[in-house]
């Protein structure tokens, strides 16, 4: 999907020749790109992983990937194709989150294509046209690049034909381990291996002692456990990544196999890890006060993250028709072994930091409230009959903390925004993970009486509105504007205004205290930098931490920073080390960072440079480091940050 939304710019096409005995040491990809080997015999390493390749070999790496060619056995001819992918300013936040978390442009892989001739012809023609300076030719090259990518991806996904025919059972095992994330049945494997179903089943059972399907399930569950422990993927992404498109079925089969739900498995494993001598991941900063991060599994960021190595398979948006969705749900209900919705995650209930609004479970008049309706006009002009007090809300977007602060426990959410939050324990009843892109079949199964869309993709509104009353709101608005809208939608406008009033009063008290204690001078300026594991940096002016800093009684934004805007066609304000002195203008510097080893290592390298040491805020010791989990502006996070912020300044 991201290939559709992204702006792709071809940077360079190079034709290269290496003689026998030549080497290439620590070559870094200047951009995402392909290496297509036409002829030769070579041993190479991609980010330390050793491979041997002959003619017609393809490898792909994201920007910064390290390539080492240890030994060219015979003359090697190859092409480099470099490109840059970016999102437009008009891209929705959901697309941006997908770009941050699961970018295909950073993936690293290598393989020998089964049908290399078509690829070779495309590459040669692209290179020929690239050497032509005509702008018209360059337009055609871009179209050819998409054709090349399609052919590479098609062959890569179809790759799996082994040059030597192995033992039947070994072949079946290898097939399962390689394609466990794809739809697999006993019949499909038998067809792939050119044997009868009965023969494959008998041979597999005889040699392994288990059925092929049981082995497939065990393989998928083992992979799911790895993803749950070692990645920040949501349950929907994990399920899809191991071959289960139905989240409810995945949860049932996981529990049947392991004895616990996926959420309980992750909670228990993390609890055990925290009690052991597992090292805490933290930044070691020597020249400025910093916030000690608590250990978190999720290492992706709020708004601007480029996904690290080890990408998960993209969740597929099937665009199933409503009729097909209804039929599927009917079949699932008839075949289900148990009733009710399985919890998506296990969390312990805790007191809300916003004390004035109590959690609302099932009030005595809930039935009457849910039946009474009113007409609401949403941000896109839809006039919708919605319940006065909806009881079963599904939310698409990142405003979960707003609903929880209002005492609303939604039945369905995109759990990525729960799992990486500072309020993990604020759900009394964990909501079902509707995934991203939103799984409409799951939404249908939840039977919502109201669906709230913080953003809309394609013709999604028409599809969702067939399931339940659906309203669209702008989740990108600041808290002071967004919370009253959400409060009005859920029938709690007065409570929303009360929360904002208490928040503003609490913020004024916090800022007054900081001024009185001498921790904040009148007119003191601040600038916010968000830093990433791959050494990319961005200047932040709105949302998250800046939304707190630039409150009336807080820090000021310097006039120089006010004038800085993103480059044309760029979604964010990128900062290079050479431009730090021209862009990071403020008395106090706030650095937002992800708590992971990659960010630590790369940031420590930056801190050793003269450019960093000579920054005014660094020289004066006014640098504060904040984990990305605080970089949200929902009501729960914002309220908790008021308590945390003075502690950050004191460190």
Tens of pLDDT, residue by residue over 221-231, are 999 998 998 88
Higher pLDDT, residue 533 or 288: 533
Q: What is the pLDDT of residue 327?
A: 38
Tokens 């023969």, residue located = 199
Band (135; pLDDT cuts 50, 70, 90): low
At CB < 8 A and 24+ separation, what contacts does 200-205 make? 200/168, 200/172, 203/168, 203/169, 204/169, 204/172
CATH of 2-158, one of 2.60.40.10, 3.20.20.450, 2.20.130.10, 2.60.120.280: 2.60.120.280
Question: Percent of the chain having pLDDT more than 70?
Answer: 75
pLDDT beyond 90 at 394: yes
Band (193; pLDDT cuts 50, 70, 90): low
- pLDDT tens readout for residues 40-59: 888 888 766 777 787 788 88
Higher pLDDT, residue 315 or 535: 535
H/E stretch holding 26 reads: strand 24-28
User: Where along the chain do its domains lie?
Assistant: 2-158, 168-275, 342-499, 519-650
Do the domains at 342-499 and 519-650 have one common CATH topology? yes
Specify the range with the lowest mean pLDDT, choosing from 20-34, 90-104, 430-444.
90-104
Higher pLDDT, residue 98 or 435: 435
| β strands within 1-98, DSSP E | 7-18, 24-28, 32-46, 49-53, 57-61, 66-86
pLDDT beyond 60 at 306: no
Which numeric CATH code is attached to 519-650?
3.40.50.1980
Q: Rounded mean pLDDT of the chain?
A: 77
Cα 203–Cα 204–Cα 208 angle in degrees, nearest 5: 120
Q: Is the peptide bond before 608 cis (omega within 30 degrees of 0)?
A: no
pLDDT beyond 60 at 30: yes
Band (312; pLDDT cuts 50, 70, 90): very low
DSSP bridge partners of 85: 8
Q: What is the pLDDT of residue 399?
A: 92
Domain 168-275 annotated CATH 2.160.20.10: no
Residue 166 neighbours by CB distance under 10 Å: 12
Q: What is the pLDDT of residue 47?
A: 67
Class for the domain spanning 342-499: alpha beta
Band (93; pLDDT cuts 50, 70, 90): low
- pLDDT tens readout for residues 238-297: 999 999 988 888 888 898 888 888 888 887 776 655 444 333 222 223 333 333 222 222
Helix (H, G, I), strand (E, B) or coil at 16: strand
Q: What is the pLDDT of residue 410?
A: 94
Q: How many CA atoms lie within 13 A of 46 on its CB side?
A: 21
- pLDDT tens readout for residues 340-373: 333 333 333 333 444 444 433 334 444 444 468 9
- pLDDT tens readout for residues 424-444: 778 888 888 888 778 887 888
Higher pLDDT, residue 513 or 339: 513
């Amino acid at each position: 999907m991201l290939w559709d939304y992204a702006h792709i710019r071809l940077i360079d096409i190079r034709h290269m020749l290496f003689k026998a005995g030549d080497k290439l040491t620590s070559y870094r990809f200047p951009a995402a790109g392909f290496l297509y080997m036409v002829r030769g015999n070579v041993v190479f390493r991609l980010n330390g992983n050793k491979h041997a390749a002959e003619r017609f070999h393809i490898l792909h790496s994201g920007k910064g990937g390290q390539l080492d060619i240890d030994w060219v056995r015979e003359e090697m001819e190859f092409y480099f194709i470099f490109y840059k992918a970016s999102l437009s300013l008009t891209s929705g936040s959901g697309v941006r989150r997908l770009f941050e978390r699961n970018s295909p442009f950073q993936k690293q892989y290598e393989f020998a294509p089964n049908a290399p001739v078509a690829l070779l012809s495309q590459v040669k023609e692209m290179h020929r046209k690239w050497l032509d300076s005509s702008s018209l030719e360059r337009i055609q090259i871009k179209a050819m690049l998409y054709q090349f990518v399609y052919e590479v991806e098609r062959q890569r996904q179809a790759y799996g034909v082994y040059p030597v025919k192995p033992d039947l059972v070994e072949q079946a095992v290898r097939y399962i381990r390689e394609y466990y994330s794809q739809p697999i049945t006993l019949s499909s494997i038998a067809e792939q291996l050119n044997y009868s179903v009965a023969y494959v089943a008998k041979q597999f059972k005889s040699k392994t002692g288990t059925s092929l399907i049981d082995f497939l399930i065990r393989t998928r569950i083992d992979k799911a456990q790895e993803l749950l422990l070692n990645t920040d993927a949501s349950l929907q992404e994990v399920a899809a990544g191991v071959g289960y498109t139905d989240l409810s079925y995945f949860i049932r089969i996981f529990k049947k196999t392991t004895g616990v739900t996926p959420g309980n498995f992750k909670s228990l494993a993390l609890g055990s890890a925290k009690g052991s001598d597992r090292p805490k991941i933290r930044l070691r900063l020597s020249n400025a006060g910093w916030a000690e991060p608590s250990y978190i599994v999720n290492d992706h960021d709020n708004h601007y993250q480029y996904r690290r190595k080890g990408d998960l398979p993209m969740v597929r948006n099937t665009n199933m028709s409503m009729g097909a969705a209804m039929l599927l749900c009917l079949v699932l209900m008839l075949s289900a072994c148990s009733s009710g919705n399985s919890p998506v995650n296990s969390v312990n209930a805790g007191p809300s930091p916003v004390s004035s609004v109590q959690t609302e479970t099932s009030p005595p008049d809930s039935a009457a409230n849910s039946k009474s309706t009113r007409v609401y006009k949403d941000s896109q002009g839809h006039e919708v009959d919605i319940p006065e007090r909806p009881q079963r809300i599904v939310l698409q977007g990142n405003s979960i903390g707003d609903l929880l602060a209002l005492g609303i426990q939604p039945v369905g959410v995109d759990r990525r925004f729960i799992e990486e939050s500072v309020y993990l324990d604020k759900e009394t009843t964990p909501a079902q993970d509707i995934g991203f892109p939103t799984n409409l079949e799951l939404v249908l199964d939840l039977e919502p009486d109201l669906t709230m869309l913080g953003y809309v993709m394609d013709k999604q509104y028409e599809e969702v509105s067939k399931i339940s009353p659906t309203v669209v709101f702008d989740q990108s608005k600041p808290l002071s504007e967004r919370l009253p809208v959400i409060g009005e939608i859920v029938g709690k406008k007065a409570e929303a205004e009360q929360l904002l009033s208490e928040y503003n009063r609490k913020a004024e008290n916090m800022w007054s205290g900081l001024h009185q204690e001498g921790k904040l001078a009148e007119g003191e300026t601040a600038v916010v930098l968000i830093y990433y594991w791959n050494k990319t940096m961005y200047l932040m002016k709105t949302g998250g931490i800046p939304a707190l800093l630039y409150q009336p009684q807080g820090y000021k934004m310097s006039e120089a920073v006010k004038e800085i805007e993103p480059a044309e066609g760029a979604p964010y304000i990128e900062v290079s080390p050479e431009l730090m002195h021209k862009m990071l203008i403020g008395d106090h510097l706030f650095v937002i960072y992800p708590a992971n080893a990659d960010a630590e290592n790369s940031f420590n390298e930056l801190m050793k440079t003269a450019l960093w040491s000579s920054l005014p805020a660094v020289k004066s010791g006014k640098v504060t480091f904040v984990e990305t989990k605080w970089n949200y502006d929902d009501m729960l996070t914002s309220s908790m940050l008021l308590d945390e912020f003075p502690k950050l300044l004191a460190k």
